[in-house]
Structure 1
């Protein structure tokens, strides 16, 4: 059974001041997880986490990573603005984009970010607008397909990201002629995986290509960015991700492949999002209606425009009925919102304790790729975000949207009523 850091009375007190729906994040748990990650990779001198802003784009969350010495991974001009506003600068920022505009490259260059290029054609495009920096990173598409237990995980043959190995080598040589002296390599091969053997097998394959690239291009890489891909267990019966085991598996491949080739030391970077904040965020909503038809439908005061993970990814999220944690889950419910979409479902045929109108539902593992995927379909407004601070105080880190926010970009007289 997954747990929530507040009891029913404490949650009800919060709801009196901040009505549902809302997100709430645990500051202490996020900070502890950052420290655990750094401890797991302490064997690698220069290791660094570049938190994926796209997963939880809130400056108060970014401040936690800043305070712990992490960098940030940005993929757009507005994410760069957010990083800048939180005082990330220079090699604190990894700008990993694709189909990139001149304005985005200019902003990234103005912040002295690490530029991670996705395509050989981007090199001359970049030079057209911005001077090449001393350090450039290239994103590698290693080719082939990755399977795990007969399941296709990544099909690099159908992947829109990255340089082929040949393009990578030729581009390094071209960039060296243009005056670039330092190079990084970026490659993401994970996809919500947490098995140590998966990471050992695929880091090994990547490091073998690193050896080929380094020797063919005549370079010693400044870093290897393994990007994201470390997942979390959504099912309450699954074990937690063992980041120490994942790290040990990567270290084995690192020592045996890169060490044998005489390429060590090389700092490793990660761009984790879900692993960093996913388990430490919760989506809170209240039951507004109970409809009994062929099935029993719980109608919440939120819709999946605010919490899309269950409908967009078909992700299972464990649900706690606040105050009924110890009651037997022997009632089946379809949990829905108010969108004009039959797919507007948080869960289907979910077994919960008997639910009454006004009960509070807590959706677990909602700390990443949740609010950031929100939208305003049907004119539904996005909820507030709250931070449960280390001292148990509560901080509003994003206000709930209002109708005025929704209409703010229209040049038209809107009738708001009384």
Structure 2
């Protein structure tokens, strides 16, 4: 264990912890007014996030030392658990409905299974495609079977409905397939089918079409579909280099919906300005850099795919969120990793980070650090 500890990427750990602590501070700032109005005190969301942060840090520490080989062997069972959870979400009386979406279970506490499924799918895809290397050139035997599991998970999450998370998982798993050494023509086939499916489902429901049109024509309906993004623009426009000061956001006072969850970055910009933006984006770029570096340094293909999977899980989620807040991408409802309010998201993002730290401790050269 001492040798593993010496090889851990402590630069990566420091950035993850700094980003997470920063997230807790900004959740308190962005949720204080809402918490006071809804629960008669301003600490409700802060306390809940701190509880999940404690759970997440314990999980982070445990996952940093567990056997990743054993975790890979358990991945088929994790997939069975994933599918069961996603089915239970859709059962009336069991799945919890919020904002016309059924994405949560309430036993033993309220949690979002799709956040768990993200991590389980990465472990499964990394494990299965590493095992399929002897016949990875054969599409029917080496490439296709796990994609049926991906399709089932995609459709179950789509039924919640949660198009953003379903697409997120699809992209992550697609990248793992790409990095596993699948033939280019097979990649092109999978990519064209996946992209066609995303475009089809994007336009298949009115609410998804409304999100696309509001993203492209934000000011056509300023009091309706464009309301959230316009208020995000106002937060960004009034920020400057250093912002208006911590706690001094105006938009969080009932103007900006989801100020402590999906749109927390708008509050961060308004209060702390460009400096905070550089910190957040710089942190994600550092995680991306270290994640790719760690993946290059390990000898095992399974560990390499796992490192790339969890790294791009975090980065793609950040891109989806930041793109939505800035108006560069449609609004997907995906939280900002390590920063947005949300217990399940925080715990399982920290678990993903713990997997990456675990892999960093398995690099053959102990002199390479973060």
Higher strand share: 1
TM-score, normalised via structure 2 length: 0.29
Calculate the TM-score normalised by the size of structure 1.
0.27
Answer 1 or 2: higher relative contact order, Cα 8 Å, separation at least 6: 2
Larger radius of gyration: 1
Q: Higher helix share goes to which structure?
A: 2
